[in-house]
Amino acid sequence: MRKSARPLLPKPGRAIAASSYRPSGRATERFAFSITAVERSLDPPRAMGYLVPGRGRRELRTDRILAVEPPEGSQDGQAPGRT
């Protein structure tokens, strides 16, 4: 598997499916995630937000996000409940 040259830095306020997120020491996971902030001062940068549905908080290392896409049924990638 090839690693991306730059980490993906998603925009806050967007719901995404982290279709290829690889946690350390575990298999690739896919889940819907709403980003509330991106902390660029950390090394590597981190996307902070919550799982959709359920609102379980998570911090994702951007160097481990392999691909992002809008959630199924999303009009413009906005998080559920946002206008």
Question: What are the residue boundaries of the structural domains of the chain, listed by start?
Answer: 1-73
Question: pTM for the full model?
Answer: 0.64
Coil, helix or strand at residue 64: helix
Give the residue with greater pLDDT, 77 vs 43.
Answer: 43
The 8-class DSSP code of residue 69 comes to B
Band of residue 83 on the pLDDT scale cut at 50, 70, 90: very low
Please state, in angstroms and rounded to a whole number, the distance separating the CA atoms of residues 7 and 5.
7
CATH number of 1-73: 2.30.30
